[in-house]
Structure 1
């Protein structure tokens, strides 16, 4: 079986990005959502990306963005993938000439088969925890048994993952990738090198 990929999201510093790559992550996430404590400007993001070695995916996270801003971020920062975490329509997401995937905040009433059908052009679905009024970064897990095992899209599992639970999450869900942010932080928006290493080691063991 192919190994589970790892994305470390909410990177705000070049040193954290480099430590994440050294720990073994496949992708870093940059948050372009001003209300988030992990928000970065285009200038910060470009500086972070310029410090990366080759073969690391750079994902831009957006919440109901202006299309012009997304295009600017792709060109200026060098984003290789887009993550839409708001109420974006399939038509909105699909207008950019960049690979993208859609975040779905899962609750008992969520029909993930319909989500796959609605976002058929997406490269994957990211499944996160539903919390009213919060687009993501809740630090809380959701009921993984709500995820059918026969979805036809690659699944990126997010929501409350940390070194202590990611192995059991992978065993239960068998996702294509896992996405972590707060679970590997030393403090808000600052990553812990030790936690990132521990997280990746748990994924790969």
Structure 2
């Protein structure tokens, strides 16, 4: 066969047109049902986790008092990445809206840490409940660069909770860690002094 004959033969061969529309539609409907099932299972898992964490008390709100305790020591805007059981960065807490990622405005006062989240539940961490602040790289399945996350450990009910925040200006994290830890140390010293009396 000459190259011209081969070209003519190849040009003459065509694939058969696809006419099995029922099979195509069946596959598309099956895929859509599968995606809906996966979404439904994820939603049920989220609700189930919230039910398991139902023993978590209501979140405290910021005190209404004015004066020295209300003066801001530090403030920061950024993102709230979620809360987990302390030390277990994948065990997300979803009860009372703590699992919802959102924008955040943090304000540290002598009374505690005020967490204001537009579109989500605000909460307040009293100064006496603060346990530790550190720089982390991951929380609730979100991984960032080393030191890219401000992790605040606090007590709520009988649990220790880690909450992760990322500032719009990551350079602020170190100042927050130092200020929070000195505030916690001061609070513990005051508690020890009062307990010794």
- Shared fold (TM-score, shorter chain, > 0.5): no
- Bigger radius of gyration: 2
- Which is strand-richer, 1 or 2? 2
TM-score interval, smaller chain = under 0.3
- Which is helix-richer, 1 or 2? 2
TM-score, with structure 1 as normaliser: 0.22
